[in-house]
Structure formats: C-alpha cells, structure tokens
Amino acid sequence: MTEIARQTGLTTQEALAAQKLHGWNELPVVARSGPLRVWLRQFSSFLVLILIVAAAIALALGEKVDAITIGLVVMLNAALGFVQEWKAETALASLRKMLSPQAMVLRDGQEQMIPARDIVPGDILVLSPGAKVAADGIVVRAAELQVDESVLTGESVPVAKDGGKSGRNVFAGTSVIAGRAEARVTATGAKTEFGKIAHLTGSVGPKTTNLQNKLGQLARQLGTAALLVAAAVTGLGLLLGRDLAEMVMTGLSLSVAMVPEGLPAVVTITLALGAAAMVRQNALARRLQAVETLGAASVICADKTGTLTENKMTATQVWTMDRSYDVTGTGYDPAGHIAVDGARIRAADDPVLAALLQVGLYCSHARLNREGDHWQMTGAPTEGALITLGYKGWCDLPNERGLLAEIPFSSARKRMSVLYQSENETSVLTKGAPEQVLEVCTQVMTQTGVRALLPVDHDAILQAFHDLAGQGLRVIGLARRTADDKQMTEEALTFLGLVGLIDPPRSEVRDAISLARAAGIKVIMITGDSPITAGAIANQLSLNVTQHLTGADLDKLDDAALDDLLQGDVLFARTKPEQKMRIVSALQAQGQIVAMTGDGVNDAPALKQADIGVSMGIRGTDVARDASDLVLLDDNFATIVRAIGEGRRQFANVQKFVRYLLSSNAGEVIALVVNIAIGGPLVFLATQILWMNLVTDGVTAVALGLEKSEPDQMRQKPRRKDTPILGVSGVVTILVFGTYTGLSSLWVFFHLMDLGVELARTTAFTAMVVFEKVSVFAFRSLRLPSWKIGWFSNPFLLLALAVTLTAQMLAIYWPPLQTLLHTVPMGRDEWALIALFALPIFVVPEVLKALGLRLQRT
C-alpha cells in the first residue's frame, strides 16, 4: 500500500473489486443439518431398522395390528430424538456472537462503519477499545494499542502492538482493550489465522459416541441372534410336520420376542430426560449421547484461561519495604479486602498503602461501573485490577479533572506516568515494570517516612519482584513524587511498592477437581499461557503436577516418549492447536475416554478430536461451540463434574433396563422354543408378545431409566472404554431370569391345559407380565439391594407398575382388549398360582445382593 492509501483507505470501487477477488470476510459456513436430515438420522440405528423390517413382515402377513404397533414405537423414538437434537441446534444458533457484525474502516478518506463481512484485503481497520478485530492485518499507526489474544493463543496477558517488529500483526477474533490504531488488512475469512484453525478443526472427521458404538454392537448381535433362532425354530417345526403358515407366524413371534422393541424408545427417552436435566444445570448436550459419554470420561484435558480461571486480572498481593499485604476477592467486584497478618486494613490506616493505592487509581484509564448486581470494567485488565484494589482499600476516588498531563505507556519505556492535581498537592504518579520504575526512583517510602533508596533497598525490591513473579504473578511497580513546580518529569521518584496480579482460578474449580479425582478421573491442564503462570494456577487448584512441558518441548518428543510422559502428572503450557490435538490423540491411543474443555478457537481442533468436547457458552467462540458435544451455558467448570455424574447415572440406567428388557424377552423366547420342541400349542400369540414388549415392559423400562444416582456412584473408577452394556454377568443374569420365568410360565400353561387352552394361555401370558413387573426390583441396582437405595426413591417406577398391572387387568377383563389379545377372564386360583411363582423373583435377588454387600464390608 502507498502512503496515500494508508491515509485515505480504499475507494469504494477498489473495495468492490477486491471483494470480487477475495470473497466475503467470513468463515465457510458449516453445513448444518436441516430438519429433514435430523429427522432421517433418527432411523439410522440398527435396532430401529430391525423394527422397520419386522413391521414390514407383519404387514405382508396381514398382521396389521402388529405392524401398526411397531410403527408407532419407531415413530415415537424418532420424534423424541428429533425434538432434542433440533432444540440443541436452535439453542446453539442463539448463542452465536463471535465476530462483531460491524467494523470501523477508513474508506474514501473517511471513517465509516460497515458490515464486518464486507471488509477486504487492503482496507484500513480503525481500532479502538472494546472493538473486535474483524480481519488479520498489519498495524500501520498505533497509540498504546493493547490486544487480548487469549481467544487464539490462551495467553491471559494483553499484548502490546506498536507497529514495530515487536508487535505489528493483529488477528481476527481478538479484542482491543486499550489504545487506538490503524491496521491494513492482509487476510480475510478462511485465510485468517482464525480461519486456518477452523479448517484444522474441520479436518477431524465425524465421531460416534461410546454408547452409540455399544448399542450398535448390541443391536447387531440381537438382530443376528433373532434371525438365526427364528430360522432354526421355523425349520425345526417344519421337520416335525407343523403347518407352514403357523411356523412362519411362530418365527415372526420369536423375532419380535428376541428384539426388544421398546429399547430404542427407552434409550432415547432416558437420554432426553437426562439432557433436559442437564440444561436445568446449565449444560446443553448437542447430541443425546454426549452426557453419557462424558460420564465415561477417564481424563479431562482442561484449558486454563477462561475455563479454570475467570479471565479477569486480580491483585492478590501487595509488597512494600516493611509490610506485605494479602488481597481477597476475585475479578472486578470490589467486595474483597486488604489484610496484614490476617487483620483488615484500609488506606486511612496505612500511609504507604494509601499512597500506593492512589497511584493505582489515578494513573489509569480504566473505570469500574456497577450495573445492577454486577460490576463492569472498561479498559485494560491490569489497570482494572489496580482500580479494584483501590476500591477494596477504601481509597479516595480520583477526580477526572485533576489529570493535568500524561506520559503514556510504551513497550520501550514499560511505564506510564500522569501529572495529577489533588486538593492539597500536585504529584507525578508512575506505574509499570518494576525495573523500569526503579530506574527513576531515588527514594523509598516506609512506615516511618520517606528516605533515600539504598543499594540494599534496591536489591530487596528486585528480590521481592522475582519472588512474586515466581508465583506466576504479573508484577507492577508503583512510585510518586510531589511536583510543586507542576513539571511532568520522570525523575527523583519515591518508590512505594509492588502489586502482584493474576488471572485467578474460579472459586468452584478446586472442589470440582477434587471430586473428579475422587471419581478416578485425571485432570490435565493444557494452556497457551506461560508455564510459570499455569503452574501457579495448578498449585492454587491443588492439581497434581510433577512436570511442566511447553509446546516447544512437546515437539521434541516422539509418540512413545509422549505416551510415557502422559502416565504421570504433567502440565502443558505454550501449546498450539495442533499440539493439543496430538495430546488428545495420544491419550485416546492409551484407551482413555477423553473430555476436552475450552472456549477459544485455539481449543476447537482438540474439542472435536476428543471423545467429548465441552465448550463455554458465554465466552466460547463460535468455532469452539461448533466443535463441541456439550456446551456449558454458565462457563462453569464445576458443571462438568455434575455432568459426569449424570452421564454415569445414564449409562448405569441403560445397563439396568437393557438387562431388564432382555431378561423379559429371554423368558418369552425360552417358553416359545421349549413349547415348540415338545409339540405343544403356542403358549403366547404374536399380539400378546407385542403387548408384553411394547406396552408393559416399555413403560416400566422408561421408569427404570429414571432411577437416581446410586450413593457411591462418584467414588467408583471410570468404566473402561471396552465395557460392554451386557458383559458376562449380564448374559448370566438374563439366562437365569429368562430360564426361570420361561419355564414357570410354560408350567402354568400346561398345568391349566385341562381347563381349556384359552384360559391356560391367558394365565401364562399374565404370569409372564407379572414376572416381568416383579423382576424390575432386581434391576433397580445391579449391586445394592432395594432397601439400600430406598424402596420409594423412584416414584415413577411405582406409578409405572401400577399403570402396567392395571393395563394387564384390562387386557384380561375388558372385552375390546380380550378380543384384540385373545384372552379370557381368570379366577382367584390362577392369580394365586402366579403369585406363588412370582415370590422367588422378588426375594432371591434381594437376599443375594444383601449377602454380597456384607461380604464386601468384611
């Protein structure tokens, strides 16, 4: 660009030509799933496909009732999944606030606001405090420009941009916090640094959750088993001379009995209810399975800035020649206080502290404003922290008219000075880097007054500075002198003290990390900030760290060395987006289920690579939210731990009702197979099987999915990634329950055959329903007896039992259902027989679990 262009910017015609060449200043729009695609996605499950095929076969055989019933279940499952996923997509759309829609540019020689998407290379951006940089550019003119680049780099300290080699480039998505500048645009849209990281995020392919994989595997196994058993039984019946049509219907009945028709709907309802519960706790699941996957997390990789910390600079320590002060409170809320040896102190009680606070308050352009119950800071974070410190010390607030002159901060001088007129005197007030402030000091203030600055004092100040910096604090030196001549000169100043600042950890994070550790979950900090600062935050959070590693160190390690390193407690600092992805991939290669938290665009690739990406809803960038599976609406790290508990509850409940449903189905299958093998009439009709599986079992299983968390849930280690939904113990449980209920119902059937096949079939049918209702108590917990978790802790289950048993009564005694289900009324003797066989199903599991609990304690 020529010097004239720098002064006047592009003309309208030049901007239009550049727009045609370079396109709009926006990232490529992520192809979002429309309502039709989200709807069709609900039919991709293998279990759902099995149900669709079963409905088609039933329809082809003329069994319209069966076909309609199965179809209704499939549509219910699809509707539930669609509502939740579409709600999540629309909620995310309302969160979009990454880039400012407007930007100030210099065009045709005039400053004008234009849509950010209209910016083209060659434009001159006019930058001022509070503005977001709309495109990458090179600073051509600057006055004390400072930019917050934490969204790109994770670095919490603002970066000075003076147009020289030390700070020429500004980047899209970053924020101006102080100063003013003009920058020539060099890249827009996908060609910006922001865009490049977004492209890196897009390079990570789609992922499926652990629960999706397990349910898919279970569906394939059930589908294969159903087809094989149905074919074998049909063939066996034909070999025994049974009627072809009868055996085809029997095979269909077996297929229906083996495939738990209610399972997809129950899973969807359970996950949807869990997702709704998490929204009430400020966590939005973009996919139903997201929370369950988080429940399996064995490692949480947490970004520091804005996730573990508040992203608000806060003064925590003050040092003077003869006193050290602690400062309470965080952020820009002045509710805290200053203390010496535990005793609160104010400016009026301490002349040195009063002078130091006055410099911090008056030598500043930051402001604090109260808006309702919240305090808002405008200006540079460092100055905001010093203003807040002054409020905490009850220092007199400055008079804006008292500011007479200023020597602004520069990266060369690293200090700022003002000439300030108070009621009693005129003073030069200076703050900046301690070494640079000491350069212009000849005196030091102590509790006994002002005296000459001796070499020993100089060494003590530098030692205090290094001690504070070693704690990860950003250290500011403050000084002053009386200027009776009202001359603005930085010389012969009196050194007052040092202030240590840090971006403090969120108050709830320490307890959340402790809970995660108790649950066997490892927390690893991965940040773009310095290792010293990151280490200080880790120490405050009681996060176990034995080794610090920077991104440069990481690049020197091969995969084997990184794998060994990740076995210990390590902290990663100064990391780049691709390095975060590598860390996540290395953990996944170990078989870990990795949750990654973050809010910046620099976190987005790792968020998408992780098994479960968790982004921040308030401060989080558009790209980070798009890459995540779970959005924290309150940006609260502690919400993650609550979500882990919810996820563990969900998986445990999925295991419970899967075993419950399959145990029920196994009893039906065993009764049918044995009955056919011995040549008896059908013990259950296809319509009755559908009634058991869809109407009675389905409702009960949904209620079982609402079981509360077990008492020791968050003291258990994370489950292994290869943990099956069933496992050997699950299969054994299913076979035991299935064998007992199947043979019992079959015995009842043949015992009553002399009274008529319809009464025998009705009683066997009702017996199986009652057996399945009673057995649900055995599945409320797979380890604890019902008295341990509370008999009435799940009122939904008790309601479901009442509803389903009432429905079964109607099926026996209400004429329309009698016709549909081919039942006849039962007498008192039949009910007594059913109760006799049902009692062991209730008692034996409770006794066994109580004995197991006692053995664990001994």
Residues annotated as catalytic (active site), given as ranges: 303
Q: Could you give the CA distance from residue 313 to residue 156 in angstroms, rounded to a whole number?
A: 8
Contact call for residues 527 and 573 (beta carbons, < 8 A): yes
- Helix axis angle, 244-258 to 210-239, nearest 10°: 160
What DSSP letter does each residue of 149-218 carry, written as one string? -HHHH---S-EEE-SSTTS-EE-TT-EEEEEEEEEEEEE-GGGSHHHHHHHHHHTSPP---HHHHHHHHH
Per DSSP, helices labelled H in 678-756 are 686-690, 697-704, 727-751
What DSSP letter does each residue of 474-491 carry, written as one string? EEEEEEEEE-TT------
As given in the structure block, the two tokens for residue 287 are 């996919």
Contact call for residues 483 and 422 (beta carbons, < 8 A): no
Cβ-based burial of 485 (10 A; exposed 0-12, middle 13-18, buried ≥19): exposed
Quick one: DSSP state of residue 307?
A: I
**Residue with tokens 């043979």, as numbered in its chain:** 743
As given in the structure block, the two tokens for residue 573 are 């600092």
**Residue with tokens 């203003």, as numbered in its chain:** 387
- Helix axis angle, 351-362 to 381-392, nearest 10°: 140
Going 593 to 596 to 597 to 599, the CA torsion angle's sign is negative
Contact call for residues 497 and 356 (beta carbons, < 8 A): yes
As given in the structure block, the two tokens for residue 246 are 């009868």
Distances (CA, A) of 819 to 758, 813, 815, 822: 12, 10, 6, 5
Q: Could you give the CA distance from residue 381 to residue 311 in angstroms, rounded to a whole number?
A: 9
Q: Could you give the CA distance from residue 780 to residue 706 in angstroms, rounded to a whole number?
A: 10
**φ, ψ at 581 (rounded to 5°):** -60, -40
Q: Could you give the CA distance from residue 611 to residue 747 in angstroms, rounded to a whole number?
A: 49
Range list of β-strands (E), 83-174: 102-107, 110-115, 124-127, 136-148, 159-161, 169-170
Distances (CA, A) of 827 to 682, 769, 807, 815, 818: 22, 17, 17, 16, 15
Contact call for residues 271 and 288 (beta carbons, < 8 A): yes
